[in-house]
């Protein structure tokens, strides 16, 4: 279900709570999906996606890319996310979560960073990371990039949460930073909601 991005976490959670199991939702008929209020155009896109989807190929591709996944029902799913209304039903990850990641703070901000913003972010991220706090950001240009880099510079732990798949780092200029996050820590690193 999570491979069909237009459904999103909230809709998937609602469908599963109504029908009981993700597998049942996956196998619903067109009339059943429309019957719960989904628009016909969305249902048609889902049915087309489902017909083309090959689970074995999908899992093999994840394996080749060293991407693992955990579901909301797994004991290793981050405790900080479990109670969030729109917690992603599946997280795709490179690495592992650590127990200490519950002690985390997100630092995000403008993509058009000012010199003052850069200085404050370096100080804030570096200081918190030095205290053992995991820094979470989005690997975007600007504040996010500085947050991750400042954390790495002090030997801290950082997690990049990407809005896209883990197979393509965006923005491209942060590919090296993404690799550094994985290489320097060899533990959680990337998380994706898709």
Band the pLDDT of 189: cuts 50, 70, 90.
very low
| pLDDT at 137 exceeding the cut of 80 | yes
pLDDT confidence band for 191 (50 / 70 / 90) = low
CA–CA dist 138, 192 (Å, integer): 10
Spatial separation of the C-alpha atoms in residues 99 and 148, rounded to whole Å: 20
- pLDDT bucket at 40, cuts 50 / 70 / 90: very high
Find all residues with CB under 8 Å of 106, minimum gap 6, and list them. 135, 136, 137
* pLDDT tens per residue, range 139-160: 999 999 999 999 999 999 999 9
For the cut 90, the answer to whether the pLDDT of residue 9 exceeds it is no
| Res. 164: pLDDT tops 60 | yes
Tokens of 92: 């795709």
Q: To which residue do tokens 């650590």 refer? A: 98
Three-state SS for 110? coil
Say what the pTM is. 0.81
172 vs 79: CA distance, rounded Å: 31
Task: Give the mean model confidence (pLDDT) for residues 63-77.
Answer: 90
Q: What is the mean pLDDT of the chain?
A: 90
- SS3 for 51? helix
Residue 58, both tokens: 């999908």
Residue 190: pLDDT over 90:
no
């Amino acid at each position: 279900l999570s491979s069909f991005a237009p459904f999103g976490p909230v809709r998937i959670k609602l469908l599963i709570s109504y029908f009981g199991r993700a597998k049942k939702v996956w196998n619903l008929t067109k009339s059943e999906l429309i019957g719960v209020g989904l628009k016909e155009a969305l249902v048609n896109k889902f049915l087309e996606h489902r017909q083309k989807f090959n689970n074995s190929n999908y899992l093999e591709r994840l394996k080749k890319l060293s991407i693992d996944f955990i579901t909301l029902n797994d004991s290793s799913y981050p405790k900080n996310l479990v109670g969030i209304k729109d917690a992603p039903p599946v997280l795709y990850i490179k690495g592992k979560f650590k127990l200490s990641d519950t002690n985390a703070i997100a630092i995000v901000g403008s993509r058009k960073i000012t010199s003052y913003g850069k200085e404050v972010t370096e100080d804030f991220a570096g200081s918190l990371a030095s205290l053992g706090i995991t820094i979470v950001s989005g690997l975007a240009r600007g504040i996010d990039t500085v947050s991750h880099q400042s954390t790495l510079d002090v030997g801290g732990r950082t997690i990049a949460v990407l809005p896209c798949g883990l197979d393509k780092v965006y923005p491209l200029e942060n590919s090296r930073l993404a690799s550094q996050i994985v290489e320097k820590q060899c533990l959680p690193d990337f998380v994706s909601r898709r």
